[in-house]
Structure 1
Amino acid sequence: MSQAIPRTDSQHGLPAGVPRPRVRRAGIPLTPLAPAEAARELVRLAASGSAADVHLCRAGTLGDADRSPGLQRLLRAAALGIPAGGGPARAARPGGRPVARVYGPDLLLDTVRAGQREGLSHYLLGVEGEADGERLTAELLVRYPGARVAGAEPLPGRGPGSGTWAATVARIRESGARLVWIGGPDTVRQHSAAARLAAVHPAVYVAVGPAFALIQGSAPGGPSRARWQRGLAGLRGHSRFVRATARELYRGRGPYRELAQLLADAEVDLLLDAGADDGAYVAGLRRAGYRGRVVSFEVLPARREHLLRCAAGDPGWSVLPYALGDGYGPGGGQRLDALWDAVTAPGERLFVRLRAPGHEERLLEGAGTHAAECVGLQTRGERTVPLPGYTEAPVRVPGGAVLFRRG
């Protein structure tokens, strides 16, 4: 009896549905896909009932993420990041093999066409108004009469309260749409909306940049000054992407490279440097590519003054006049749970560096109920007794042993 041969990905030779290889560029994990394969992957995700946020990552997006820890954290946690545009597509090609770039309007149209066989319905989020939504819906139905467009509306406003978002989620749920396309001029809002909606309602949310306007042939033109400003913004975004990519490629030189890569792999976005001394540790991590926030703790006034001068040019680095510990007895220091709201933000993944050998238990005791939110520790020297709940990373890095929470 003949056996069916599974359909494979022409780029990687993998059966459909098998996770594709990912590469990290400018700190963001990307999945290089050919345009047709990207459309098939979206259809597969939607047909499976998955909740997924999908982000087309152009050079400007990756450049913005290098300057914005919040956007970088969002894109790192995404279900799927697809390199879009020539620069990211070339940078992310696996093994040097060429990969055709994914273009937002083509991805939308290819997915609508492929989704007809599965009976998938689509929702257009981010149109400029009711008339714009009707024009875009009509354009899609003229091209693909069998397509299903369940609704179209603008992105929820920026005003206070979650009612607008809740109403949008309710309409998407009632429409039965499995693919939600998020467009419009503000790409950062698109990425944020995709992640936010995927967390509350199971569907596939795709941030596609200015695809809506381009499909209708109404990409913003405007006066020459406005076009010049948009072109300049695009060049700046590409320049930031090139710098971030070059920094990532060359940060492999230097003693902190393995530690910076460990923090990136663990998606650490907040470093607490307890007993920061002269700041050389943080400076080394910055040179190696760590872009997250840093809070340094130093009780000695002279060293703290030096730290403040080092941190003056780094908006993501702050200095506090405390020692961290359990708060008991001489040298007990300040409890971390008492400072928690002042030094952390919701959702941040925390790593702590300690200069006092054998002080790990006291620090975790001082963290109280927040101790479980500490994903890793670095200790000075080697521990002779294992720290419960943590395992040592098998690498040699400056500053002592690195421990990560199991799981």
Structure 2
Amino acid sequence: MLDRRNLMIGAAATLISAGTLISTPAFADAGFQQWIRDFRSVAAKNGVSTQIYDRAFANVKTPDSEVLRKARFQPEFKDQAWQYIDSRVNERTVANGQAMARKYKRLLDQIESRMGVSRNIVLAIWSMESSYGEALKDPERLHYVPRALATLAYADRRRAKFARSQLISALKIVQNGNVPLNGLTGSWAGAMGHTQFIPTSYQAFAVDGDGDGRADIWNSIPDALYTAANLLRKNGWQSGQTWGYEVSLPEGRKFPGGSLSLAKWEQMGLRRPNGKPFPAPSRNAELKVLQGRDGPAFLMVKNFYVIKRYNNADKYALGVGLLADQIAGFGPPSKDWTRPYTRISVAEAEELQLRLQRSGFYDGAIDGKPGPQTRSAIKAFQSRYGLAQDGYPSLEVLSALRRR
């Protein structure tokens, strides 16, 4: 009923992108406020106190436009594999992970002992989700969760059902005393804390890791890391096992989809680049080639799919696995990704952003993480000087900026 009424707004609404409904500014406040009033009874029927609900929305007057903008861009599905991996697995994220491994050694020892989950996997997830907590210090990346989820429930048809259930769970987290309303912050989709749990996942997996009686994934690193490990453990993490193996592919042969034993893959000519045999050759694995034969190839075993319970994207799970291995001291894949440009380091990416800023093309953060804003600035620079407008943060672009 609620969704149908909102869809009947008609002339007061504009469709942008598949399945997304956004009200015009003249109607937004009234329509959104009506949705909040109507959902109050739904929340109450699902166990949310009306007092908590009213407090949660007392100062919420309009949808969060940034939530809707971010909902249209999800790098797991839009970035090329090499773009996604390069921005998340690099010299800085590895060095920071190794520093965190030293700093939190005692905590990570306990997590491995009690949960059976690799410390390096937990650290990699922490990096991927919040840059080891740094993202929680950036107000531009944080959203008030009730407003964010109400925005999606009201204005995004594809995510409305998800957002309604998450909103109810988020308010119950407050109601249960785990976090005050003013601390209920998260991503555009309601993912919260150091290790970015959506409310229903928090309810299912949250752990009080520091023994203070609350599972505070926003402020307690022990709680956040224990909670991440608990999700993996409860979804079947195989202790002491890897997530997958890099393999080289024999030329001129096609391979079947699906899961086969490692022994069977070896019979078809797949080999580990280091020449070592596959441990437990009877274990099943699936071949993943995210860039075809132009990039590295991997045989993925059970733990890869457990990581995907955190985020159901191959690029995400591969990023976690590769970063975990490098934090542990192993090198990158022996076969690199094929990129249409020369890759630069994080320090060089910061220099590129700074030079773009000084030239008037860029006003974002100097963080060495070239995202959409950096790529748009690169295209503007390339357009100004008659260069191919590919937007890549490349050595070629940095060299051109140095010459200007």
TM-score range, shorter chain: under 0.3
The two structures have a TM-score, normalised by structure 1, of 0.24
Whose strand fraction is larger, Structure 1's or Structure 2's?
1
Whose helix fraction is larger, Structure 1's or Structure 2's?
2
